[in-house]
């Protein structure tokens, strides 16, 4: 019986694997608490190979932010596809529900929070700004909502981040109920 030849993965496949591994590692320990050695070991590659795929730790984390930005857009787009009609409020509610679902698993949430907390680094800051720019422009195009309504959407989403991060849903206190109540509820 002839042994099956081991199929080597391409650089693009390996890069995607490293990105998935990095998302998990950075979500758990943040940018400053995660080393490239940690990511390389978790991905089953050498640190040298990691540096062939990504110039440095900043470039790797920026790629993680870009990856998460893509996931946010995919989720929003899928939500928009389920909406019948063109009412901006209906579309925004669908996108908001998809966002709440996405951050509920906490991996995406923690990447977003760690990214914002590390945005003083120029490379990371640029990746965070690009992420927000993509999301804002997508919402503008997909909803046709007014500027102030788009701003309010993001304000509510950022509050949702905090509420999920501190597990405010489990707190039965007036302050938590106030923060959890959305306008119109």
Determine the pLDDT at residue 183. Answer: 66
Determine the pLDDT at residue 182. Answer: 75
For residue 152, is it within any domain? Answer: yes
Q: Which candidate, 78, 17, 63, 8, places its Cα nearest to that of 43?
A: 17
Q: For the beta carbon of residue 125, count every other beta carbon within 10 angstroms.
A: 15
DSSP per residue over 33-84, as a string?
Answer: H--HHHHHHHHTS-HHHHHHHSSSHHHHHHHHHHHHHHHHHHHHHHHHHT--
Structural domains in the chain (count): 1
Overall pTM > 0.85: yes
Determine the pLDDT at residue 48. Answer: 94
Determine the pLDDT at residue 184. Answer: 60
For residue 34, is it within any domain? Answer: no
For residue 66, is it within any domain? Answer: yes
Tens-digit pLDDT profile for residues 118-147 = 999 999 999 999 999 999 999 999 999 999
Indicate which CATH number applies to the domain containing 98: 1.10.357
Q: Which candidate, 86, 83, 114, 115, places its Cα nearest to that of 96?
A: 83
For residue 136, is it within any domain? Answer: yes
For residue 109, is it within any domain? Answer: yes
CA distance 90 to 15: 38
For residue 31, is it within any domain? Answer: no
Determine the pLDDT at residue 13. Answer: 86
Determine the pLDDT at residue 176. Answer: 93
For residue 9, is it within any domain? Answer: no
Question: Domain span at residue 135?
Answer: 58-180
Residue stretches of the chain with pLDDT short of 50: none
């Amino acid at each position: 019986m002839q042994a099956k030849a081991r199929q080597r993965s391409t650089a693009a496949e390996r890069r995607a694997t490293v990105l998935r591994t990095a998302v998990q590692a950075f979500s758990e320990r943040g940018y400053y608490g995660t080393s490239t050695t940690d990511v390389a070991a978790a991905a089953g590659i050498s640190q040298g190979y990691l540096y062939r795929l990504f110039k440095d730790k900043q470039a790797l984390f920026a790629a993680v932010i870009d990856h998460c930005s893509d996931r946010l857009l995919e989720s929003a787009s899928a939500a928009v596809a389920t909406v019948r009609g063109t009412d901006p409020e209906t579309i925004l509610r669908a996108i908001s529900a998809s966002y709440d679902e996405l951050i509920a698993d906490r991996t995406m949430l923690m990447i977003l929070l760690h990214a914002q907390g590390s945005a003083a680094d120029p490379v990371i800051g640029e990746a965070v700004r690009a992420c927000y720019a993509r999301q804002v422009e997508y919402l503008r195009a997909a909803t046709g909502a007014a500027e102030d309504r788009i701003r309010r959407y993001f304000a509510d989403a950022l509050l949702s981040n905090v509420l999920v991060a501190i597990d405010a849903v489990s707190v039965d206190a007036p302050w938590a109920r106030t923060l959890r109540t959305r306008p119109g509820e």
